[in-house]
Structure 1
């Protein structure tokens, strides 16, 4: 049996699942992703434990990408959120105890619950089955360790195979040394209640004091982990005025309010699901606040099943999911071929005489991923363009974010996640990344070779950039290197536009919004449905004109 809290909780979860059904884990307030922790501590750990793979860096915009790539290259299993390195179902017994006021709840435990499909059974309990349980409790303030006497008492009960972790977890939450009122405030999926919320809730502002009062009807404050934030919108611009809390009175600096802005309360439940945007009305007893029309919130691509009319021409896609995903909305996706995971510097290089030592493409389970890595290694793009019947080529440059490995003698490979699964490591060659000093000069030369290849093609340039926020107004620039990549993308698109006789699809600013509930997860290039519909409408218009 593995026992531990915080970082020790991560180790306990990881190793218990690696031993499969022979092991159990009793943990509290665990980290579930090493990189979702204090950056200073993460840097110290990685650079000292894996100096051959992890370099010191002061760069903030590319930190997450760099550390993710380095962990993959060093074979550091940094997360128990994905099933690639951790499956709670492989354990004999699990009791994960989470203190409700700890920031680990939203940053570590909620992603763990969602990723592995734990279901709420009330009383702050989440189960895969009664022997695999996560329990929310309240035994102190913040990231407080589980008190020693609680550990001893309930660990003794955990060793009794006649009692389930679900029973023991509820005993912890109801223990007299804990606060049992946590039960009503434990995180819940409140999305089924949204229609009721629309009917009952209201929000009004006191403009002189800069406070917004929210009435929740018969919903108790903090129910299900309910949290409320405040944004202002004007046209396509939006700004967060107050971060999320359980308080129903939100105070913000009144001098920050834009003239003519619409104030909106944003609600999320304890599982971080977006619930609604609630317009703020002026209080009758205070000065009126001028408002503009409230901004339409884009719909998640996965929430809408309606199919779009077909695109008539057969299209060759060289790019990424931002283009390919749009075709999932069509009645008849007319894609002649799709080439991804092969940035231009790699795709336009000569094929390597052999793969690096230790790289085996057959290690990749997914047939699609094997095909993409094979095509990148064999530099198949020119041959596929020549031998695949198609009416036009659609290009986007989102995959240009991927690192490139220069193997020497002109051989280059993409250091994609899929290639890492095949055994490719960053030490197989010299790593070249967006932002490196000689990156753009290498890219410009490769782009010219692509331009020459496409001279006789009908090219449509899908000019997509990274989104700076999601549909809830959540800022993505602190988590992802948005600005750096968009600066580089602007240069890249300009080079292709100048060299090719191509048609360009651009996007209004209000559609460049990430979807926090996208089927591939939150990312600055996973967009809301409106983005993909705009692409398809623009594509039909271009094809009809041509």
Structure 2
């Protein structure tokens, strides 16, 4: 894998319009955060992914829409950010550079429209990579946990945020994936059997609808290895 970008939404992957000012990368470099987190935040704030893709000319892009659970932020400049845990914990939202950010709830119609616009920009970007194959990890939120553990029907996406129904976010994820596949019909799908979509009560980051049991990850790895023979 040449590069990994996490905590980014398709809505926030690219600048919303030509000439939209980005954020000075210096504010990221000064953060006392792990290198991987700084890499992700730099990509999010400075919109570096399009340039990185143009330079790398990758053979394969593997996408996962798990980060589409976070609210969106719209700055006065029009720049869009994904309000991920890493961005919140970085403290950057309290800096002048991100002052005035307006929160857009992820389940709102406005968030869907912003995502649709981002998907269209990504589709335009993908045309500059005609030899690149796209693979989508398609999944749903776990509805059951392994063993006797019980998944909550409602939860806060981030600490201190309003409680939301897990089923609503699961439905949104399904809708987003269906829309992505409609725009990119040639996408290869990476998917585990539904019976393995179980939350892991022993997961190192705790019980969550997105923290799957080891058997799920093994199935995904096996499917990926079987796909590799069909990829460039």
Task: Give the TM-score, by structure 2 length.
Answer: 0.81
Any stretches of 5+ residues in structure 2 without a counterpart?
156-164
Alpha-carbon offset, residue 432 of structure 1: 1.3
Describe how 1:277-288 pairs up with structure 2 within 5 A: none
Q: For residue 11 of structure 2, give the secondary structure of its aligned residue in structure 1.
A: helix
Q: Does 1:430 align with 2:102?
A: yes
Aligned to 2:116: 444
Which of these two proteins has the greater Rg computed from alpha carbons? 1
Matched with 2:149 is 474
Asked if residue 336 in structure 1 is aligned to residue 38 in structure 2, the reply is no
Residues 394-444 of structure 1, C-alpha deviations (whole Å, 9 max, x = no match): 101000112221002321222222222332159631101221231111111
Find the aligned partners of 1:445 and 1:479 in 2 and give their Cα distance. 29
Number of the residue aligned with 1:414: 82
Q: Is the 8 A contact 1:468 1:477 kept in 2?
A: no
Q: Does structure 2 retain, via aligned residues, the 8 Å contact 1:364–1:421?
A: no
Change beyond 3 A, Cα 1:391–1:473: farther
Give the match for residue 402 of structure 1: 70
Report how far residue 531 of structure 1 moved.
Answer: 0.9
Task: Return the match for 2:205 from 510, 515, 520.
Answer: 520
Aligned to 1:453: 125
> In structure 1, what is the equivalent of residue 175 of structure 2?
491
SS at match of 1:393: strand
CA RMSD of aligned residues (A): 2.2
> C-alpha deviations, 1:241-300, integer Å up to 9, x for none?
xxxxxxxxxxxxxxxxxxxxxxxxxxxxxxxxxxxxxxxxxxxxxxxxxxxxxxxxxxxx
CA change 1:365–1:484 in 2 (3 A) is same
Counterpart contact for 2:22–2:47, Cα < 8 Å: no
Name the one with the larger helix percent.
Answer: 2
User: In structure 1, what is the equivalent of residue 159 of structure 2?
Assistant: none
Q: Any conservation in 1 of the 2:63–2:136 contact (CA below 8 Å)? A: yes
1:377 to 45, 48, 68: 45
1:479 Cα deviation from its structure 2 partner: 4.1
* Partner Cα separation in structure 2 for residue 418 and residue 450 of structure 1: 23
Bigger relative CO (Cα 8 Å, ≥ 6 apart): 2
Q: Tell me the residue number matched to 1:534.
A: 219
Q: Which has the larger share of strand? A: 1
Instruction: Verify the 8 A CA contact 2:12 2:81 in the aligned structure 1.
Output: yes
SS state of the match for residue 460, structure 1? strand
In the alignment, structure 1 segments of 5+ residues that lack a partner are: 1-334
Cα distance between partner residues in 2 of 1:353 and 1:383: 13
- 1:353 positional shift: 4.2
CA distance in 1, matches of 2:23, 2:52: 21
